[in-house]
Amino acid sequence: MYKQTLVVLGVLGAVAGCATKPENPVDYYTYRNEPLVKQVEDGMSQQQVLTIGGTPSSKEQRSVHPGSCNNYVLNVDGHQQAYYVTFDSAGKVDSKGFMTCAQHEQNQRELEKL
């Protein structure tokens, strides 16, 4: 029974490591109560995101998929973390996560190659 549990946990860990959205679970835990992380959802408008998160630190045009991307810097207890929110060509949120827009674009380019 104990060995079966270890095998199941090992398989789950391996599958989780192959996810297409690589993020550190510690980042999510640390910043989970930040308004951008907690309240922004897919399908929201840019204006709704600006109301929740304020002015982004930078804004970029996306090259892999049409749309734009906002960079934010989350700050909890003096620790800073990059966070991006992407918008499709209609101006609706289509992804978000704990990296910069540039890092997200690079990941998207790599996925396109597969």
21 vs 79 pLDDT, higher one: 79
Among candidates 93, 17, 43, 13, which has minimal Cα distance to 72?
93
Instruction: Give yes or no for residue 17 having a pLDDT over 60.
Output: no
pLDDT score of 24: 78
The domain containing residue 77 runs over which residues?
21-113
pLDDT beyond 50 at 37: yes
* Average pLDDT estimate for 31-37: 95
> Does the residue 2 lie in any domain?
no
Residue 1 in domain? no
Domain membership flag for residue 25? yes
Using 50, 70 and 90 to split pLDDT, how confident is the model at 5? low
**Does the pTM of the predicted model rise above 0.85?**
no
CA torsion sign, 96 to 101 to 24 to 9? Answer: positive
Q: Based on the structure, what is the number of domains in the chain?
A: 1
Output the domain CATH number for residue 74: 3.30.1450.10
Q: What per-residue confidence (pLDDT) applies to 21?
A: 52
Does residue 59 lie in a domain region? yes
d(CA 70, CA 36): 11
